[in-house]
Structure 1
Amino acid sequence: MNNGIKMSRLKNKLFFALLLLLPVWGGQAAEIKALPALKQDFHEVAALPDGRWLALDKHAVRLLDKDGRQQDSLDVRAQHLDTRVTEGGMQAVVFDADHQQPWILQVGQQKLQVRTKLAPVMFALETLCLYQDAQQLSHVFLIAKDGMAEQWLLSGKSPQLFRRLALPPGVEHCRVDDSRQALYVSEPGLGVWRYDANGEGVPERDLILGRQPYGVLMGAAGALAVLPSGLAVLDATAGKVHILGAHGKSVKPVVDVPGAHALAVSGRDVLIGGKQRWQALVLGDMPHVSAGREKLPVIVARGQTATMARAGDAADDPAIWIHPQSPAQSRIIATNKKQGLLSYDLKGKQLQLLEAGRLNNVDVRQNISWPGSKVDLAVATQRDEAAIAVFEIDGQGNLRDVARIKTGLEDIYGTCLFQPAAGGLEVFANDKDGRFEHYRIERQGKRYEGKLLRGFRAASQPEGCVVDDSRQRLFFGEEKRGIWTLSANAENKGVPQLILPVGEYLKADVEGMAIYHGKRASYLLASSQGNSSFVVLDAQAPYTYRGAFRIGINAQAGIDGVSDTDGLEVSAVNFGTDYRYGLLVVQDGYKRLPDGTQNFKYVAWEDVARALNLE
């Protein structure tokens, strides 16, 4: 054999040996790029939008220019680097391993600055990651080895504990996809979980990438990196990277990356840290999946009530009593389903509690005319007694339990009042089985009785309802189907008309309802519980849809957002100061900032009107 043939065969062997060292896309060589700027042994890196770098080694956090030249550094034994672009500039977080403190950093043109240091954690921190919510507020998740975790709100006057949450034990890596409000965590022995990062509403989780036999991971779930339309997951034990789309399914063949220990992202490239220092895996185009949650205007509450004295699903429905001489001294009257009836002032301070049992919905009417007298009443559904509970309200807003009116309903639920122009008071009450009963409340001396005027039925479970007294229209929600209207006059024999079905705008369950009577227009509001939003319609035919909004975090005031709302009430009265153009009161299903029992939030009507361009 001549020397030319021997040399050719040697070149071929070397070529195939090199191929074995390259990452591969399912048997084909994947495109890999060297990163000349990251020649040192950095254990974590973050690519900045302007081409610069943040990098961690054993001694410092280092700010590098595009070519890897150091611009600044902070001496700290740091771990768990993550970054975000915020309204105030580039933000980073690291964990000071020696002092057990998360540091929040501000990245300037040539400078690294410590913006704040959180208090030392009192648990064995395993990982942390940043989150920027739909309001562009900054949060950080702190995750302990035993699965205990905390979410801190960084925006506002100072960092505040937003909530605590339980995650799997042994989580070593986390990342958040802000656009989808998804918190991803790696549980080495099982796989990658997706949680709701938002923190408001019903907690949910999904296993999106499982370890065999629950999925395709051969080893342990490791480092994570959020891509523009997906997620990169490192299986460090098996030396592979999995590329998932936003839906959680694999969209690229598995990549072999022997010796890799860390991931990061630069544009569409996955950065891989390992034996070969840092390299970029070029992904190319990936399937685009739009963000899951629809974008709606977000306003914030300006006030909130004290929390319930009972845990769990307790707070339900508010009503507003207006002080006849001084609207600023008005009261919010609300139900605690496990305790009774409460009243609050406009600062949210609890003023009164009547332990009247399991009250569900409540409504209020004032200056009710009966022969020889006028009175203000609050009426609520008493579930244990299948009755309508009647409470008198004196001139200062104090409540007195005065009567029960038995109904023919077995599982009484929602209620609303109708005050006819001719005087007196009527009440609608409904049952979970869909039945409604319509009563006239009659007053004999100091006694209250009920006269049944009619009954009708919805096809499935209703609850929230409201009456437009001036137009004699009843509006009620059928939780799984939509909003209906019917004449409130018992002598009119019409049938309910569906004015907004569950669908594009309204998400089941349909809950609390109220009417805002403005000088130029009146609006019907309803709680769209399925997506924690509030829809607004014209309160008269053809009931035009005007929009929807959510209630988010008031970071400056330390008031959390609103989710899973049951009841609500609104008034156009000038209550002064924050509520000159009216007040919306809503139940909040999950109290955060910090965690607590349920309460009610106060929203200025002018904020609603501005968000939806209402008159």
Structure 2
Amino acid sequence: MKTSLLTASVAVALLAATATAPAHARPTPDGPVAVTTDNETPALYDDEQGGNASGDDPAIWVHPHDSRRSVVLATAKEGGLRVYDLRSRELQSLPATAAPRADGVAGRYNNVDIAYGMNVRGRTVDLAVVSDRYNDQLRFFTIDPAGSATRQPLTEVTAPELGFLFNPDRDAVGDEHTAYGVSVWQPRPGEAYAVITQEGTTRIATARITSSTNGVGYSDVQHLSMPGSFALPDGTTWTPCEEPGTGPQLEGLGVDQDTSTLYAAQEDVGLWRVPLPLGTGQPRLVDKVTDFGIQDRWNPETEECDPVGPDRGLGGHLLTADAEGVDVYDGPGRTGYVVVSSQGDDTFAVYGLTGRNRAVGSFRIRGVDGADDVNGSDGLAIASRPVGPYTRGLLVSHDEPETGADVDPERDATNFSYVGWGSVADALGLTAVPR
């Protein structure tokens, strides 16, 4: 497997660019608008009884002929993968099995996305692409074309002995600075790349998805280091406060397939726009978190960062750290939006796809008819096509903590909520015409 590191000059250019990157976001007059959900998946519990299942990131597979048979995939970390139908009923639960390597260990599935129209063993299939933190690699699953009409939609087809994405050996993988966020980039039909972030660092990687008689794997891994420190207008340098031994990591990723543009959330920094392939253009900071430029200091007793410097007014208005899940609503023509979960205040920021990615507002998700509000969203997914009853598209978000009458309050519960994109569009005055 070929691995290359893009030149350090790219990162230097990025550092200089952030000094003048504008904070485009402006609050709406009445703050975030509210949309509602009455459709949520069963609670997952992160304890031994619940199989250490902690929800994190969803993906939506849209059936090519009958959208009512579409499914939602979701990672549950050590609890593996879940598959749900459009009524949020669980169809399949897959454990995080050991990776097919001689030194493979039981997995931890962090993020998931879909690659459409891939040739696998002579058949054209759609693939679920999953980041496995405990093995620093990707895992691959074919999606049965019957979708929700079958009881076992996913089948693993990961090739054996795949290389580590970010680490030189198994000992280094044990430090857990491993594969984290993932999104799929498809520049041409039948061709796909995974874009992956590394936990605890500023690195992004791309890997070409390949297929052989042994299964699905990857090759041509390339890395790009994003900035970890930022030049400020007064001539000083700001470094986000992190736990010792880690950097300001990125996780949430979404790709505008029409322009081969990656949108990446750096949790304590903001939202980046990154041209693909990596290194072909200069990344740009679209918007900053509200506390950008505020100096904090790590407190080893509380294991938190304590503010020690003034607010210089350099932050944005819509993203309260952590900036987490990212996806793209892809409308007709060049109509479209980037949605980012603002985990720190339980909201979602929305930006236009064109020009300077102007911020167009933000929203909250309120639960009705027995569903609870969405809080602490780690990940989200958007389908820009009709999906069963969601005729103008579908948004699915992670929710933590999950609460409600049927949830055990003594256990760490998470789940996923479904929201019609049409309700988001109506609330913010956006376009909601599927392609």
RMSD: 1.9
Q: CA 1:371–1:472 in structure 2 vs 1: closer, same or farther (change >3 Å)?
A: farther
Q: 2:380 aligns with which of 554, 568, 591?
A: 568
SS of 1:530 mapped into structure 2? helix
Q: Is 1:515–2:328 an aligned residue pair?
A: yes
SS of 2:134 mapped into structure 1? coil
| 2:80 match | 340
Would the aligned equivalents of 1:483 and 1:498 in 2 still touch at CA under 8 Å? yes
| 1:494 match | 281
Would the aligned equivalents of 2:67 and 2:388 in 1 still touch at CA under 8 Å? yes
Offset at residue 434 of structure 1 (A): 1.4
Offset at residue 572 of structure 1 (A): 2.0
Offset at residue 363 of structure 1 (A): 0.5
Alignment of 1:149-160 (within 5 A): none
Q: 2:195 aligns with which of 409, 413, 428?
A: 428
Alignment of 1:98-109 (within 5 A): none
SS of 2:157 mapped into structure 1? strand
SS of 1:452 mapped into structure 2? strand
| 1:527 match | 341
SS of 1:299 mapped into structure 2? strand
Equivalent residues, number = 318
Q: CA 1:370–1:541 in structure 2 vs 1: closer, same or farther (change >3 Å)?
A: farther
Q: Is 1:444–2:212 an aligned residue pair?
A: yes
The one-letter code matched in structure 2 to 1:340 is G
Alignment partners' CA distance in 1, 2:190 and 2:157: 20
Offset at residue 341 of structure 1 (A): 0.8
The one-letter code matched in structure 1 to 2:376 is D
Offset at residue 316 of structure 1 (A): 0.2
Q: CA 1:402–1:313 in structure 2 vs 1: closer, same or farther (change >3 Å)?
A: closer
Offset at residue 365 of structure 1 (A): 2.0
Q: Which runs of no fewer than 5 residues in structure 1 stay unpaired?
A: 1-293
Offset at residue 424 of structure 1 (A): 1.7
Q: CA 1:313–1:580 in structure 2 vs 1: closer, same or farther (change >3 Å)?
A: same
Cα displacement string for residues 199-236 of structure 1 (whole angstroms, at most 9, x for unaligned residues): xxxxxxxxxxxxxxxxxxxxxxxxxxxxxxxxxxxxxx
Q: 2:251 aligns with which of 447, 457, 463?
A: 463
Alignment partners' CA distance in 1, 2:138 and 2:206: 11
Alignment of 1:329-408 (within 5 A): 329-356=69-96, 357-369=107-119, 372-397=122-147, 398-403=153-158, 405=162, 406-408=164-166
| 1:540 match | 354
Q: Is 1:558–2:370 an aligned residue pair?
A: yes
Q: TM-score, normalised by structure 1?
A: 0.50
Cα displacement string for residues 488-547 of structure 1 (whole angstroms, at most 9, x for unaligned residues): 224x53232101111211111010101111236111001011111000111222101010
The one-letter code matched in structure 2 to 1:527 is S
Offset at residue 456 of structure 1 (A): 0.5
Q: CA 1:606–1:497 in structure 2 vs 1: closer, same or farther (change >3 Å)?
A: same
Offset at residue 422 of structure 1 (A): 5.2
Alignment of 1:250-329 (within 5 A): 295-311=31-47, 314-329=54-69
Cα displacement string for residues 449-480 of structure 1 (whole angstroms, at most 9, x for unaligned residues): 32134211122211011111111111101000
Cα displacement string for residues 52-108 of structure 1 (whole angstroms, at most 9, x for unaligned residues): xxxxxxxxxxxxxxxxxxxxxxxxxxxxxxxxxxxxxxxxxxxxxxxxxxxxxxxxx
The one-letter code matched in structure 1 to 2:62 is I
Alignment partners' CA distance in 1, 2:39 and 2:67: 16
SS of 1:607 mapped into structure 2? helix
Would the aligned equivalents of 2:117 and 2:189 in 1 still touch at CA under 8 Å? no
Cα displacement string for residues 8-64 of structure 1 (whole angstroms, at most 9, x for unaligned residues): xxxxxxxxxxxxxxxxxxxxxxxxxxxxxxxxxxxxxxxxxxxxxxxxxxxxxxxxx
Alignment partners' CA distance in 1, 2:374 and 2:381: 15
Cα displacement string for residues 430-449 of structure 1 (whole angstroms, at most 9, x for unaligned residues): 11211112111111234223
Q: CA 1:538–1:371 in structure 2 vs 1: closer, same or farther (change >3 Å)?
A: farther
Would the aligned equivalents of 1:467 and 1:488 in 2 still touch at CA under 8 Å? no
The one-letter code matched in structure 2 to 1:501 is K
| 1:174 match | none
Cα displacement string for residues 357-382 of structure 1 (whole angstroms, at most 9, x for unaligned residues): 31001111221357954220011111
Q: Is 1:593–2:404 an aligned residue pair?
A: yes
The one-letter code matched in structure 1 to 2:420 is A
SS of 2:56 mapped into structure 1? strand
Would the aligned equivalents of 2:37 and 2:419 in 1 still touch at CA under 8 Å? yes
Offset at residue 580 of structure 1 (A): 1.1
Would the aligned equivalents of 1:512 and 1:568 in 2 still touch at CA under 8 Å? yes
SS of 1:420 mapped into structure 2? strand
| 1:158 match | none
Would the aligned equivalents of 1:359 and 1:383 in 2 still touch at CA under 8 Å? yes
| 2:424 match | 608
SS of 1:403 mapped into structure 2? coil
Would the aligned equivalents of 2:166 and 2:178 in 1 still touch at CA under 8 Å? no
Alignment of 1:131-150 (within 5 A): none
The one-letter code matched in structure 2 to 1:513 is V
Offset at residue 399 of structure 1 (A): 0.4
Cα displacement string for residues 336-367 of structure 1 (whole angstroms, at most 9, x for unaligned residues): 01210110000010000110231001111221
Q: Which runs of no fewer than 5 residues in structure 2 stay unpaired?
A: 1-29, 97-106, 148-152, 168-176, 229-247, 291-316
Alignment partners' CA distance in 2, 1:587 and 1:488: 27
Q: Is 1:479–2:258 an aligned residue pair?
A: no
Between Structure 1 and Structure 2, whose CA radius of gyration is higher? 1
The one-letter code matched in structure 2 to 1:550 is R
Alignment partners' CA distance in 1, 2:141 and 2:120: 16
Alignment partners' CA distance in 1, 2:356 and 2:119: 32
Offset at residue 324 of structure 1 (A): 1.9
Offset at residue 334 of structure 1 (A): 0.4
Cα displacement string for residues 539-583 of structure 1 (whole angstroms, at most 9, x for unaligned residues): 2221010100001131xx111101100000011221233x11111
Aligned sequence identity (%): 32
The one-letter code matched in structure 2 to 1:512 is G
Structure whose residues are more often strand by fraction? 1
Would the aligned equivalents of 2:38 and 2:367 in 1 still touch at CA under 8 Å? no
